[in-house]
Amino acid sequence: ERSKLKRLKTTRSRTIDGVHVDLLANIELPSDVPDALEAGAEGVGLFRSEFLFLGRGDMPCEDEQFESYRKVARGMGGLPVTIRTFDLGNDKDPHPEETHADRVKTNPALGLRAIRLSLTEPAMFQTQLRAILRASHYGPVKLLIPMLAHAQEIDQTLAAVAQAKSSLRGENVPFDEQMPIGGMIEIPAAALGVGLFLRRLDFLSIGTNDLIQYTLAIDRSDEQVAHLYDPLHPAVLMLLAHTITSADKAGRPVSVCGELAGDVSMTRLLLGMGLRQFSMHPGQLLEVKQRILTSDTSELAPQVRRLLRCEEPARIREQLDKLNGV
């Protein structure tokens, strides 16, 4: 079965009705690049840069970060590489020993994490933005910002990028002036207020792991409530469909980079919502491609519209089974 899948590596990921679907890889370290290429990924849709940071107490300096980002950009050989700025805090804690007590007291998932943390650490943020911009000279690099909710956070981020660019210009350091900047949709407020994002950013990436957590108020790492973590909850589906449709209307690329993108039982549902970019663990990529090759978006679109009108979980599952031919 594996070797049959392997043969799909160089097959173009097109649906029966000829729609191209981008299949991208999620990576955590530069050493994951060979896996992404081996799976036939058309780029890196999510480089979780905070993994450069984890497992060590200190922060990698600008040159060290630059080397890591450039390694990925070069390693992907001209394919797009989306680098997400540090998503620190919450489940990815850079200083577990120091903050353990705080974790117990507070709710880290709702606290100072990701872009919120970066914006309160301007020196750390500038270092990372400069490193990413420098890497953009060596391949098509895009910048992705995690956990945005407010227009003001986007504006502050764009100002920080402008500052990093101007300092590099002053030093005659080359970078891509047009480097696209995207935002993650992983908070319900972001999905509902997606217009704020579309007016300010070049692309969107939906982080379903967090989006589901925050929509359903289910801690994604708490096993006691894991049975309530339901990607098919009608509210989750509404937020997904709304985000994808809105991005389409605005002519902005949108991807899903949460675990749902690599879940083959969700592929047709997402295709039917209009999704054309999936970013996932490289190990899932060929299986998802196989599903895409046997799907027809012209049939899926009306079926999914019908599914989205259902509110009863049993009906939703029934319709999903129908999409999947089971």
Interacting residues with ligand PEP (CB under 6 A): 46, 48, 87, 186, 207-210, 257-258
User: Toward ligand PEP, which CB reaches closer, 256 or 320?
Assistant: 256
What is the DSSP secondary structure assignment for residue 310, as one 8-state letter?
-
As a whole number of angstroms, the distance between CA 11 and CA 40 comes to 9
- For 163, the 3-state DSSP assignment is helix
Cα separation of 188 and 192, whole Å? 6
> Choosing from 184, 257, 260, 275, which is the catalytic residue?
257
**Measured from the CB atom, is 134 or 282 closer to ligand PEP?**
282
Shortest spacing between CB 303 and ligand PEP, in angstroms: 25
Q: Given the DSSP bridges, would you call strands 141-145 and 277-280 parallel, antiparallel or unpaired?
A: unpaired
Q: Please enumerate, by residue number, every residue annotated as part of a binding site for Mg(2+).
A: 186, 210
For ligand PEP, the closer of residues 46 and 160 by Cβ is 46
Distance in Å, CB of 158 to Mg ion, minimum: 21
User: Could you say which of Mg ion, ligand PEP, none residue 255 binds, taking C-beta under 5 to 8 angstroms by partner kind?
Assistant: none
Give the pair of three-digit tokens for residue 218.
Answer: 């289910």
Q: Is 9 helix (H, G, I), strand (E, B) or coil?
A: coil
Per-residue three-class SS string for 180-199: CEEEEECCHHHHHCHHHHHH
Q: Please identify, using beta-carbon distances, which residue of 183 and 207 lies nearer to ligand PEP.
A: 207
Pair of tokens at residue 231: 């990607």
Minimum Å distance from CB 307 to ligand PEP?
22
The site partner of 258 among ligand PEP, Mg ion, none (C-beta below 5 to 8 Å per kind) is ligand PEP
**DSSP assignment of 91-124:** TB-S-HHHHHHHHHHS-GGGSS-HHHHHHH-HHH
Q: Which stretch binds Mg ion (CB under 5 A): 7-15, 203-211, 294-302, 317-325?
A: 203-211
**Residue 1 buriedness (CB in 10 A; 0-12 / 13-18 / 19+):** exposed
Report the partner that residue 257 touches, choosing among ligand PEP, Mg ion, none (CB closer than 5 to 8 A by kind): ligand PEP
Residue 184's beta-bridge partner residues? 205
Q: Does 93 bind Mg ion (CB under 5 A)?
A: no
Catalytic site includes residue 257 = yes
Q: Should residue 139 be labelled a site residue for Mg ion when binding is judged by CB under 5 A?
A: no
Q: How many residues bind to Mg ion according to rule CB under 5 A? A: 3
Q: Which two tokens stand for residue 191?
A: 């999905």
Query: CA dihedral defined by 114, 119, 120, 125, rounded to 10 degrees?
Result: 90
Q: Choose which of 139, 183, 207, 272 interacts with Mg ion (CB under 5 A).
A: 207
| Binding residues for Mg ion restricted to 161-190, rule: CB under 5 A | 186
Which residue, 44 or 292, has its beta carbon nearer to Mg ion? 44
Catalytic residues: 257
